[in-house]
Structure 1
Amino acid sequence: MSRSGRDPDKRVRKTRGRTESSRRWLERQLNDPYVKQAKADGYRSRAAYKLLELDERFAILSRAKRVVDLGIAPGGWAQVVRKKRPKAGIVGIDLLETEPLDGVTIFQMDFMDDAAPQRLEAALEGPPDLVMSDMAANTVGHKQTDHLRTMGLVEAAAWFAIETLDEGGTFLAKVLAGGTDTELLSLLKKHFTSVKHAKPPASRKGSSEWYVVAQGFKGRS
């Protein structure tokens, strides 16, 4: 313990074969209180607290009965939904393999695959009232390109929500610094009664991620 009574930060030594970026990532993980809390609470990732904090502010899960989780791996958000709304139907999709979750239907496939939307819809007994997306494109190291790739996924998720959500439903998605692009923001405002941006406390200060919360889906008429 330090003189202040706090555990001192853990340092990760430089070793052969470990890049500097991976060393910094491991060091950050070891010293992250949300990572430690996730382990203690049985959540698969610290991302669970982002959803919990967003739900506390926007009551996202208060009426959720049928939920689509885009970019489900490793399953932290779905765990939160199961805990808060144990009777809700949940279907998720991810390119990455996701360990099974009780009561959750999981597809390992690309959301951009033409067959993905239909499979997600078919797995629920009715239209979803919550579509949530924590998807982000694999980075290539070029900020503008990475932004465009990720926002392309957000736009695809938004259109999926607009085409499938039940009236009054909610769309939640991770976006990047600067918030939702103007064109997409206009689309959301057209179809939802409330569109807001938020950065939950569990989101690392150095991270460029924000979340867009669109509530009160107006329907497709």
Structure 2
Amino acid sequence: MSHIRLLIVEDHALVRAGMKALLQKVEGIQVVADMGDGLEAVKFVQMEAPDLVLMDIAMPGLNGLDATSRIVKESSTTRVILLSMYANEEYLSQALQVGASGYLLKGAELAELELAIKTVSRGETYLTPAVAKYAVEAYRNKSGAPSSPLTRLSGRQREILQLIAEGQTTKDIAYRLNLSVKTVETHRSQLMERLEIHDVPGLVRFAMRVGLIQPDF
């Protein structure tokens, strides 16, 4: 039997090491790499094309949602399961819209993690029971995936929103994304208009609420 070639992407080193240690004991799964950066994950998939990526949603720089979007668009064979601490409609909506094949809570037992991986590797979708109810409700309402304020933003605007919320200056963002300062300022103005939020503290609170960044405790 061929192994499921799995990439783990999680920015907390201890959590990542724990997942790797657990999954290496599961028959039929081969952990080919692990890393803590969404952009590096995109590059790895481009070069190595693993069967499946286990991806944390909330990561600095390039978050799991935008990394998933890039991976799904660029690879027809690699599927993604998103990991989250939260069982809410907002996160599920975004996970489905960027093309994730699975949504799993970080508190899941190993048995559920194994089930999710093997379900998705067969070409099916796995939603942890705590969020599956939202998908059912959306289907019953014939409204498709649950709606989210983030759907008002383009992928680039979402990236810039995250970097603003992480405290980076316009100049820093322009350098990181290889854009002009004027282009970043335009995106910033447009995303504020679309979200109807007109100050940076408001953007930070919004980014925390939808899971683009995590609050510091």
Q: Which TM bucket (shorter chain)?
A: 0.3 to 0.5
Task: Output the TM-score relative to the length of structure 1.
Answer: 0.36
Question: Which protein is richer in strand relative to its size?
Answer: 1
Task: Output the TM-score relative to the length of structure 2.
Answer: 0.37
Question: Which protein is richer in helix relative to its size?
Answer: 2
